[in-house]
Amino acid sequence: MTVPSVAERSASDTDTTPVLAVRDLWKVFGPKAESVVGSTLSRKELKERTGCVAAVRDVSFDVRRGEVFVVMGLSGSGKSTLVRCLTRLIEPTAGEVLLDGEDVRKADDRRLRELRRNRMAMVFQHFGLLPHRCVLDNVAFGLEIRGVAKKERYARAREVVGLVGLTGFENSYPDQLSGGMQQRVGLARALAADPEVLLFDEPFSALDPLIRREMQNEVIRLHHEVGKTMIFITHDLSEALKLGDRILIMRDGELVQVGTPDQVVGAPADDYVRDFVSDIPRSHVLTLRWIMRPPHPDEPLDGPELGPDVVIRDAVHAVLSADRPVRVTDGESVLGVVTSAEILEVIAGGQD
Ligand SMILES: Nc1ncnc2c1ncn2[C@@H]1O[C@H](COP(=O)(O)OP(=O)(O)OP(=O)(O)O)[C@@H](O)[C@H]1O
């Protein structure tokens, strides 16, 4: 079996079909779980009347090819259950999970193993490294159980060890490495199999804040480099905003909102989300698109030009130092203008 090298692979950027489509997904823990599917009782009522916990309730969403999709929510909101249902580490009670159109719930045991090994790899918080094997052997291990020939698996292992910045540590053992480095080994092992989707279950929550930031940057770098679809669980909003192309917010098993970071901060779906994002400086997340306005008839339209996706924080200097309105353009036409007034309103009204 051949594993394409990093250089050979390219994400199919133009493909707009979702890599993963989740439809009406339920996971109910407890007796007669199936009978609870569809219930509109609150979590508390459900527990009292049926003894069941609906950890995931009627959740539907698509994950686009190549995006970083973050699942966020408070402890107990159902994030882990939801993501484990995608590979059936937890068996869903009802609904559909389609991976490239294939119904994962219909896969038999053999097919499911193939899917987990080759298509959707999970990176766990506790790295699951084999202590008696060195870095290279740990990374090659996933390929070994897939039956990849020795020469090929070690060539690939060296390649991904380099990719995660561990060149020089190939022969070290896990207990000789820091937590961040061990997490890189876990990441390399997941990447080695060249899966379509990488799933991260709160991978950095055990790391100290500095290492955690370093690993977040590492994920961003890797994402640019390998273009993989990534599904990332976190309960940390700033991590979600930093990493996510889109964020799914859960509460009590239900999906509350799916949106880009600026949509979640700029247009929270309800008070729960509004509360969540209330400490985030809006100017760090919102873009000029959110504050531009149509020009007044008497306004000069020969000021500096900026794109609509420029984050407000990055435009402050240009707008405040301009002696005329800044034009927000898509390269061809003027979409709106931004002046000091709009910038100052965000900064004064937000939590800056
Ligand atoms: N095996 C189980 N049996 C019964 N209830 C469960 C089981 N696993 C999870 N739950 C319940 O399902 C709900 C969702 O749990 P889950 O672990 O998915 O949440 P989470 O958002 O990932 O939380 P955390 O961030 O604390 O991991 C919780 O109320 C939890 O107690």
pLDDT digit string (tens) for 3-26?
Answer: 444 444 444 445 678 999 999 999
Min mean pLDDT across 96-110, 168-182, 192-206, 287-301 is at 192-206
Buried b (16+ CB within 10 A) or exposed e, 38-72: ebeeebeebeeebebbbbbbbbebbbebbbbbbbb
Mean pLDDT of 263-279: 91
Question: Which amino acid, 35?
Answer: S
Q: Which residues line ligand 1 (CB under 6 A)?
A: 29, 53, 55, 73, 75-81, 235
Task: Name the CATH code of domain 283-349 (choices 3.40.30, 1.10.3470, 3.40.50, 3.90.1280).
Answer: 3.90.1280
Q: Residue 187 — pLDDT band, cuts 50, 70, 90?
A: confident
Mean pLDDT of 272-299: 91
What's residue 335's pLDDT?
94
Q: Judge residue 124's burial from the number of C-beta atoms within 10 Å of its C-beta, 0-12 exposed, 13-18 middle, 19 or more buried.
A: middle
The radius of gyration of the chain's CA atoms, rounded to the nearest angstrom, is: 23
Q: Is the model's pTM score more than 0.80? A: yes
Q: Which of 29, 231, 237 to mutate to test the pocket of ligand 1 (most atoms within 8 A of CB)?
A: 29
Min mean pLDDT across 203-217, 262-276, 282-296 is at 203-217
What's residue 8's pLDDT?
44
Q: Residue 126 — pLDDT band, cuts 50, 70, 90?
A: low
Query: Among residues 196, 218, 174, 186, which one has the least CA distance to residue 65?
Result: 196
- Kindly give the interhelix angle for 179-192 and 209-226, rounded to the nearest 10 degrees: 20
- Sheet with 53-63, edge to edge strand ranges: 53-63, 20-29, 94-99, 102-103
pLDDT surpassing 70 at residue 64: yes
Q: Whose CA is nearest to atom 18 of ligand 1?
A: 78
What's residue 132's pLDDT?
94
Backbone phi and psi for residue 200, each to the nearest 5 degrees, phi listed first:
-115, 120
ipTM score of the complex? 0.97
What's residue 11's pLDDT?
43
Kindly report, residue by residue over 38-47, the tens digit of the pLDDT.
Answer: 999 998 899 9
Q: Which of 33-47, 55-69, 140-154 has the highest mean pLDDT?
A: 55-69
Query: Among residues 135, 224, 148, which one has the least CA distance to residue 183?
Result: 135
CA of 89 to the centre of ligand 1 (A): 13
Q: Which of 81, 205, 232 to mutate to test the pocket of ligand 1 (most atoms within 8 A of CB)?
A: 81
Copy the structure tokens of residue 268. Answer: 């929270």
Residues forming a β-bridge with 59: 25
Q: Whose CA is nearest to atom 24 of ligand 1?
A: 75
Residues forming a β-bridge with 230: 68, 198
Mean pLDDT of 284-301: 92
Query: Among residues 60, 238, 242, which one has the least CA distance to residue 230?
Result: 242
Q: Residue 351 — pLDDT band, cuts 50, 70, 90?
A: very low
Cα 91 from Cα 35, distance rounded (Å): 16
What's residue 15's pLDDT?
62
pLDDT surpassing 90 at residue 294: yes
- Which atom of ligand 1 is the closest one to the Cα of 30? 4
CB 6 within 8 A of CB 225: yes
Cβ atoms < 10 Å from Cβ of 315: 22
Residue range 63-92+104-277, CATH number: 3.40.50.300
What's residue 14's pLDDT?
52
Residues forming a β-bridge with 122: 199
The domain segmentation of the chain, as residue ranges, is 63-92+104-277, 283-349
